[in-house]
Structure 1
Amino acid sequence: MRSSTVLVDLSDAPEGVWRGDELGEAGAATCPSGHPGLDAELPGGGWPLGAMTELLQPDAEAPLWPVLLPSLARAVAERGQPVALIGPPHEPFGPALAAGGLPLEALLWVRADAAPARLWACEQALRCAEVAAVLAWLPQARLGELRRLQLAAARHGALLFVCRPDAVAPSASPARLRLRLQPRPDGQLDVHLLKRRGPPLAHPLPMPGRGTRLGGLLDATRPGRPVAPASTRTLPMGEGGATVVRLDLRRALRQDPAHALARASVAA
C-alpha cells in the first residue's frame, strides 16, 4: 500500500482551534507570576490553576523563592488562606518571606521525610479548600504518583508547584508546565521552559536570583539588632509521620544570616 501525505491549511480554522505555533489556553484560569517577561511566555499569562507546574533544579539548594514568591503572596492576599509547604529542604525563613509579601502566619510547613508521607500530605492539602497554594518537594515521585496529584489539582482548581531534581528532565511528566531553574555565576537565574502548550522557547528567560529587599534584611540582622522571639506549634498529621509545623512568630535569626538567606527555603 502506498502512503500519502495530506497537508491541511489551518489559516481559515474556526475560533477555538489551537495551532501549535501559538500559545494555547488563552481563556484558562491562571495566576500571574509577578514577572511580566515570564507571564508573556506562559499560556494564559500566568501559572495555571487546577494543574501541576513542575520546577526542576540542579540541587535542592538552588534559588527558588524569587520566582514563586510574588504569585504565592498574591494568592494568599486574594484568598486569605495559607500556603502549604510539603517537605522543604530547610526550615522556612520567616522574615525574608514576610519581606516579600508572604506573611509568616500564612505558612503551613509540613515536615515529612518519607516519600509516601509527602505524597499523602500533598494530596490532602490539594483537597483542602482552606489552602491557597501547595508547594511540594518530591524528588522521588513516580509518573503514576504525579498523575494523581495532577488529577487532585484539577478537581479543586489548586495552584500546585512540584520541585524535582534536574536529572529527571528526560523523563515524561503529566505537568502542564515544566521549567528548569538554572543558577548563573553572577547570581541570576536562567529559566528554561521545557514544556508548555505552544512553540518551544529558543532562549532561557533571565530572572533575578535574589529579592530586591535582601540588602535591607541583611542590614536588619547585623549583630546587636534585637530579634523577635520564635515559637512553633506542631500538629501530627498521620500517614507515615507527616507533621504540620505552624510558625506562630518570627523565627530567631541564625548566627550567619547570609548563609541562611542563601538556602532553598529562603526568599533570598
Structure 2
Amino acid sequence: MDAKKEILIRLQQDILLWQGFKPQAAGKGERVGLGEIEQAFPGGVFPKTAIHEFITVLPEDAAASDGFIAGLLAILMQDGAACVWVSTSRRLFPASLSGFNVEPERIIFMDVKTEKDVLWITEEALKCEGLAAVVAELNNLSLIESRRLQLAVEESGVTGFILRKDASKGVSTVATARWKISPLRTETEEGMPGLGFPRWRVELLKVRNGNPGSWILEWAGECFEEVAKVMEVADESAWSEQQDRQIG
C-alpha cells in the first residue's frame, strides 16, 4: 500500500475515534436485520458499541420507539445476556416484550425517583460487560453526560439506548445515531386495514460519519422486515404533519 494512502487511512480511523465512533471488533460485525438501514452506518454495520438516541416527544412516538428497541433487543440478547431498563416513569408493559421475542424476565427494570439517579445507574450499567444493552428514559441529555455514557460503552461493548423527550435542536450529544420512530397504520396480509404487524417510519436524523435517511419497517413476528409496498406518500405526509403540529 502506498505510504501516503496508509497515513490517510490511519488518520481517518483516528478521526472516527475522536468523534466517538468505535469500529466493530473482529467477529462483532454481525447484522441486526435492519436491511438497507444498516448501510447508513460506517462499514454498513449497525454500531453496537455506541449510544443511540431516540427523540420521543409524543407518547405515540415513545411507544413506537419502545417497540423498535424491543426488536433490536431480540437480536442483541440472543446469546442469553440480560438488559437493564431505567426510568422515573416507565410506560412499558413488560409482558408486551413477548411480542418481540424478548423474555420479560431477562429485562432488569429499575424505576427510580430522579433523572440524576437514571444517569448514574445508566452509566454504571453500561460498564457491565455481561449485559447486552441498557435502555434509559430521560427528559434531556447534555454533551458532557452523553460523553460519559459513550466512554462507558467503549470500555464494555454494551449497546446504549437513550429515549429523550426533549427535542431541542440546540442540544448536542456524542450519540452515534439520533433516531425518530413514528407509528404507521398496520395492514393485514390481505392488504386491508387492521391489526397487522407493528409498522413504523424509521428516521435517522443524525448518523456520525454515515448517511441520514428515512425508511418504512415492520416487525414481522420474528424479525424486522422492510415494507415492499410503500404506502401513499401524500397520505402519510399529511398524517405526519398533523403530528408535527401537535408538537409545536
- Indicate the TM-score class for this superposition, using the shorter chain for normalisation: 0.5 to 0.7
Amino acid at match of 2:214: P
2:180 is the alignment partner of 1:170:
no
CA distance in 2, matches of 1:88, 1:183: 24
CA distance in 1, matches of 2:102, 2:41: 23
Q: How far did residue 26 of structure 1 move?
A: 6.9
Q: Are the counterparts in 2 of residues 166 and 180 from structure 1 also a CA contact under 8 Å?
A: no
Aligned to 1:130: 130
Aligned to 2:207: 196
Which protein has the larger Cα radius of gyration, Structure 1 or Structure 2? 1
2:26 is the alignment partner of 1:16:
no
Greater share of helix residues, 1 or 2? 2
Amino acid at match of 2:34: H
Q: Are the counterparts in 2 of residues 55 and 178 from structure 1 also a CA contact under 8 Å?
A: yes
Amino acid at match of 1:205: W
Aligned to 2:215: 205
| TM-score, reference length from structure 2 | 0.66
Amino acid at match of 2:69: L
* 1:14-50 superposed Cα distances (whole Å, 9 cap, x missing partner): 4836599xxx977555563322122222224343233
Q: How far did residue 151 of structure 1 move?
A: 0.9
Q: How far did residue 96 of structure 1 move?
A: 2.5
Aligned to 1:264: none
Q: How far did residue 180 of structure 1 move?
A: 2.2
2:78 is the alignment partner of 1:68:
no
Q: Are the counterparts in 2 of residues 73 and 102 from structure 1 also a CA contact under 8 Å?
A: yes
Q: Are the counterparts in 1 of residues 60 and 182 from structure 2 also a CA contact under 8 Å?
A: no
Percentage of identical aligned residues: 24
RMSD: 3.1
Q: Secondary structure at the match of 1:181?
A: strand
Distance 1:26 1:87, change over 3 A: closer
Amino acid at match of 1:50: T
State how many pairs are aligned: 196
* 1:202-249 superposed Cα distances (whole Å, 9 cap, x missing partner): x411223xx445xxxxxxxxxxxxxxxxxxxxxxxxxxxxxxxxxxxx
**1:101-112 → structure 2 map (5 Å cutoff):** 101-112=101-112
CA distance in 2, matches of 1:147, 1:199: 19
CA distance in 2, matches of 1:41, 1:131: 26
Q: Are the counterparts in 2 of residues 32 and 71 from structure 1 also a CA contact under 8 Å?
A: no
**1:141-156 → structure 2 map (5 Å cutoff):** 141-156=141-156
**1:1-268 → structure 2 map (5 Å cutoff):** 13-14=5-6, 16=9, 18=12, 29-30=28-29, 32-62=31-61, 63-78=64-79, 80-87=80-87, 89-165=89-165, 167-184=167-184, 188-198=199-209, 200-201=211-212, 203-208=213-218, 211-213=219-221
Amino acid at match of 1:160: G
Q: How far did residue 52 of structure 1 move?
A: 0.9
* 1:119-142 superposed Cα distances (whole Å, 9 cap, x missing partner): 111012112233221011121332
Higher relative contact order (CA 8 A, sep 6+): 1
Q: Are the counterparts in 1 of residues 129 and 157 from structure 2 also a CA contact under 8 Å?
A: no
CA distance in 1, matches of 2:36, 2:167: 26
Q: Are the counterparts in 1 of residues 50 and 175 from structure 2 also a CA contact under 8 Å?
A: yes
Q: Are the counterparts in 1 of residues 40 and 210 from structure 2 also a CA contact under 8 Å?
A: no
Q: Are the counterparts in 2 of residues 50 and 153 from structure 1 also a CA contact under 8 Å?
A: yes
Q: Secondary structure at the match of 2:135?
A: strand
Aligned to 1:244: none
Higher deviation after alignment, 159-168 or 144-153: 159-168
List gaps (5 residues or longer) in structure 1: 1-11, 214-268
* 1:94-149 superposed Cα distances (whole Å, 9 cap, x missing partner): 33312311112211001013111101110121122332210111213322111111
Q: Secondary structure at the match of 1:132?
A: strand
* 1:134-190 superposed Cα distances (whole Å, 9 cap, x missing partner): 011121332211111111111111111111125233321111122222345678432
